[in-house]
Copies of this chain bind each other. A is one copy, B any other.
Amino acid sequence: MENFNFYAPTEFVFGKDRENEVGSYIKKYGGSKVLIHYGGGSAVKSGLIEKVKKSLDSAGIAFCELGGVKPNPRDTLVYKGIELCRSEGVDFILAVGGGSVIDSTKAIAAGVPYDGDFWDFYGKKAQVEAALPLAVIVTIAAAGSEGSRSSVITKEDGMLKRGIGYEILRPKFSIMDPALTQTLPAYQTACGCTDIMAHVFERYFTNTTEVEITDRLCEAVLLTIVKEAPRVMADPDNYDARANIMWAGMVAHNNICGVGRQQDWNSHALEHELSGLYDVAHGAGLAVIMPAWMEYVYKHNVMRFCQMAVRVFGCQMNFENPGATALEGIRRFRSFLHSIGMPINFAELGAREEDIPVLVEKLGIGEGKLGGFMELDRNDVTGIYRLAAHSEV
Q: Chain A: residues with CB nearer than 8 A to chain B? A: 1-16, 18, 178, 209-214, 216-217, 219-221, 223-224, 227-228, 240-241, 243-244, 247-248, 251, 256, 259-260
Is A14's CB under 8 angstroms from B9's CB?
Answer: no
Is B210's CB under 8 angstroms from A240's CB?
Answer: yes
Is A13's CB under 8 angstroms from B18's CB?
Answer: no
Shortest C-beta distance, A9 to chain B (Å), equals: 4
Q: How far is the CA of A198 from the CA of B216 in the complex (A)?
A: 18
Q: Contacts A240-B210, A244-B1, A244-B210 hold; do A14 and B259 have CB atoms under 8 A apart?
A: yes
Is B1's CB under 8 angstroms from A5's CB?
Answer: no
Name the residue on B nearest A3 (C-beta): B15
Q: What 6 A-B pairs have minimum CB-CB distances, sorted nearest first?
A: A3-B15, A210-B240, A216-B220, A9-B9, A7-B11, A1-B243
Is A221's CB under 8 angstroms from B216's CB?
Answer: yes
Q: Contacts A210-B244, A243-B210, A244-B211 hold; do A217 and B5 have CB atoms under 8 A apart?
A: no
A228 cross-chain contacts in B, Cβ below 8 A:
212
Is A219's CB under 8 angstroms from B217's CB?
Answer: no
Is B18's CB under 8 angstroms from A14's CB?
Answer: no
Q: How far is the CA of A376 from the CA of B216 in the complex (A)?
A: 33
Q: How far is the CA of A251 from the CA of B213 in the complex (A)?
A: 9
A260 cross-chain contacts in B, Cβ below 8 A:
14-15, 243, 247
- Oligomer: number of copies: 2
Q: Contacts A6-B14, A15-B2 hold; do A213 and B224 have CB atoms under 8 A apart?
A: yes
Name the residue on B nearest A15 (C-beta): B3
Q: How far is the CA of A10 from the CA of B18 in the complex (A)?
A: 24
Q: How far is the CA of A11 from the CA of B244 in the complex (A)?
A: 26
Name the residue on B nearest A257 (C-beta): B220
Is B11's CB under 8 angstroms from A5's CB?
Answer: yes
Is B213's CB under 8 angstroms from A221's CB?
Answer: yes
Q: Which of A18, A216, A256 has the most CB of B within 10 A?
A: A216
A220 cross-chain contacts in B, Cβ below 8 A:
213, 216-217, 219-220
CB contact between A244 and one of B5, B10, B178, B212 (< 8 Å): that residue: B212
Name the residue on B nearest A247 (C-beta): B213
Q: How far is the CA of A352 from the CA of B259 in the complex (A)?
A: 45
Is A5's CB under 8 angstroms from B12's CB?
Answer: yes
Q: How far is the CA of A1 from the CA of B179 in the complex (A)?
A: 12
Listed A/B pairs (6) with beta-carbon separation below 8 Å: A3-B15, A5-B14, A7-B12, A213-B244, A213-B251, A247-B260
Q: How far is the CA of A8 from the CA of B220 in the complex (A)?
A: 20
A12 cross-chain contacts in B, Cβ below 8 A:
4-7
A16 cross-chain contacts in B, Cβ below 8 A:
3
Shortest C-beta distance, A307 to chain B (Å), equals: 12
A5 cross-chain contacts in B, Cβ below 8 A:
11-14
Is B240's CB under 8 angstroms from A1's CB?
Answer: yes
Shortest C-beta distance, A18 to chain B (Å), equals: 7
A219 cross-chain contacts in B, Cβ below 8 A:
216, 220
Shortest C-beta distance, A42 to chain B (Å), equals: 24
Q: Contacts A7-B11, A14-B260, A259-B14 hold; do A216 and B210 have CB atoms under 8 A apart?
A: no
